Chain A
Amino acid sequence: GESVGLHLPTLSVQEGDNSIINCAYSNSASDYFIWYKQESGKGPQFIIDIRSNMDKRQGQRVTVLLNKTVKHLSLQIAATQPGDSAVYFCAENSSGYSTLTFGKGTMLLVSP
Chain B
Amino acid sequence: DGGITQSPKYLFRKEGQNVTLSCEQNLNHDAMYWYRQDPGQGLRLIYYSQIVNDFQKGDIAEGYSVSREKKESFPLTVTSAQKNPTAFYLCASRADKRPINEKLFFGSGTQLSVL
Residues A43-58 near B (CB distance < 8 A) = 43-46, 49, 51
Contact B43 A102 (CB under 8 A): yes
Q: CB-defined interface of B1-16 with A at 8 Å, one 1/0 digit per residue?
A: 1101010000000000
Q: Within 8 Å CB of A42, what residues of B?
A: 108-109
* Cβ–Cβ contact A43 & B101, under 8 A: no
CB distance A95 to B98 under 8 Å? yes
Q: How far is the CB of A11 from chain B (nearest CB, A)?
A: 15
- The answer for the CA separation of A2 and B67 in the assembled complex, in Å, is 29
Chain A residues bordering chain B, tally (CB within 8 A): 24
Q: How far is the CA of A103 from the CA of B42 in the complex (A)?
A: 6
Give the contacts of B59-115 with A (CB-CB under 8 A). Answer: 88, 90, 92, 96, 98-101, 103-109, 111
- In the complex, which residues of chain A have a beta carbon less than 8 angstroms from the beta carbon of B96? 98
B103 near A46 with CB under 8 A, answer yes
Chain B, range 28-47, C-beta contacts under 8 Å to A: 31, 33, 41-43, 45
Among B31, B42, B106, which residue has its beta carbon within 8 angstroms of that of A43?
Answer: B106
Cα separation A45 to B36 with both chains bound (whole Å): 16
Contacts of A100 in B (CB 8 A): 104
A42 to B37, CA, bound (A): 11
Chain B residues with Cβ under 8 A from A102's Cβ? 42-43
Q: Is B48 within 8 A of A99, CB to CB?
A: yes
Contact B99 A96 (CB under 8 A): yes
Chain A positions within 8 Å of B1 at CB level: 43
Closest 4 A/B residue pairs (Cβ): A43-B106, A32-B101, A95-B99, A104-B42
